Amino acid sequence: MRFLGINAIFHDPAAALVADGRIVAAAEEERFSRRKHGKRPLAFSAWELPEQAAAWCLREAGLAPEDVDAVAYSYDPSLVVRRPEGDWEDLRTRYAVRAPLFLATALPGLDPAQVTYVPHHVAHAASAGLASPWRDCAVLVCDGRGENVSHLAGRYRDGELEVLAAQELPHSLGLMYEDVTEHLGFLRSSDEYKVMAMASYGRPRHLEALREVIRPTGDGGFRVEPVDWNVYAKALPKGAPWTSDHADLAASVQARLEEVLLELARWLHERTGERRLALAGGVALNCVANTRLLEETPFTEVWVQPAAGDSGTALGGALHLAQAYGEPAAPMGTAALGRDFTDDELGAWLDVARVPYTRPADLAAEIAAELAANRIVAWFQGRSEYGPRALGHRSLLAHPGHAANTERLNDVKGREQFRPVAPMVLESRARDVFGRGPVPSPYMLFVHDVRPEWAARVPAVVHVDGTARVQTVSPDGEPLVARLLTEFERRTGLPVLVNTSLNTAGRPMVDDPRDALECFGSAPVEVLVLGPYVVRRREVFGS
């Protein structure tokens, strides 16, 4: 059977396809439209569907819309507490009610009756529990909001979800974090990771005050009272310089978020006795909190959906329907679920662009030499990643041994200098360089402490607090990247590479060859690797 999942209602519209017991494809609309996050999370944008992502998922599976057995729409308007006429949220609900008709228009041949509403947090839960390596586990979902709740705690037993707690709106940890994001001059529902990065520069000196207004209730839920953030730091206009007051506010909010999540996870463990925990929802992209959940709760294993934000509900909805129809899909073994291109297609793009290129006999060795010479490399390989992390398919790579490369990469990408860049490391070498945090960690969703004897050797990947957001690489899963790491260590003695997303500020990650060539042409990157082909800036531009 074939199940198409659709996320559209809030932000990060996406589509995913599960067929014949496996995850075939998943992609975010932003990678096609080139509009960051696909759209803004406004009620009057709820009609915007992931039309290009959905059409691509069907093509990838060789299907027409009429071949789909069921469509999951990851929002159930019947659960919404209706508001007065004219309210913007009522408009969102009206769009959701008509979503089957919108989808049938976007995908001609689709029967609107095939569309099933899957509650938003159930779709999130399925994206974690059903995609994880386990059939039985606890599941914790935390985000801004769904239809009428902002959180779900439960467990999966043999693929069936039991909901144990759900927090009703308006109380929301995710919306609270969004409020702080906006207060600090960033874009809400987009830049929350910047608050997490800024927190490392501050002291949580407002923690006691925040404990009074953000608190667990002891029954698996929590309360978030209205907060006047100006009491702690004045609101920052977008792009304005931040001060220690703003960093202290970020640190305080981050610390309180972690404390509440720990309480929620401990309650869930007490209720379930499970030793495995699966996480989803936008808050699950907070890798600092994830590490504390692993280190400081009774759970011995934690798995986080790589597309933990709303885009992941497309996959979760499809998995939920597959389970309901008695055809559960295999666990998610990779985040590389997006588009890929043949060598011939990539070569044709380079020919059209009229740029000189080579096809080296040993790509890993040649690029390792470029990286050892401290050149920045744009790396485009295989299927694009599903979710916000670059995992060696659409990446910018650099030498970790030069502290200046952090600033250099932030300049290349046009982003704030307080932002860290991440390391990738062979799974077999990870414990030599990094402590605390899980190994393996293939999706870059936890922080690890950098061992003191290594901090001075790989300064570009060490955040101000001594941590790094690590991606471990397995030769079985990523043989080319593993060889690149091996060749780089042979030349430099360093088993680590800097890995950050292949994009510039405000733009989605590169997805197709045109995107890669445009990024290479506009950003000061010395080398572009497009599949087996290598393009050098000095050969294109003469410098």
Which positions are annotated as active-site residues?
11
Tell me how far CA of residue 113 lies from CA of 53, 69, 110, 117, 323, in angstroms: 21, 10, 9, 11, 19
SS3 category, 91: helix
**Extended strands (E) in 447-511:** 447-450, 467-469, 471-473, 496-501
H/E element, 502: none
Lookup: tokens for 436:
């605390």
* β-strand partners of 157: 160
Q: Please, are residues 337 and 25 in contact by the beta-carbon 8 Å criterion?
A: yes
> What is the DSSP-derived secondary structure letter of residue 336?
B
* β-strand partners of 401: none
Q: State CA 373 to chain mean position distance.
A: 31
Pairing of strands 377-380, 2-7: unpaired
Q: Please, are residues 517 and 348 in contact by the beta-carbon 8 Å criterion?
A: no
> What is the DSSP-derived secondary structure letter of residue 238?
T
* β-strand partners of 18: 3, 23
- By C-alpha distance, which of 261, 290, 296, 303 is closest to 137? 303
Q: Please, are residues 332 and 448 in contact by the beta-carbon 8 Å criterion?
A: no
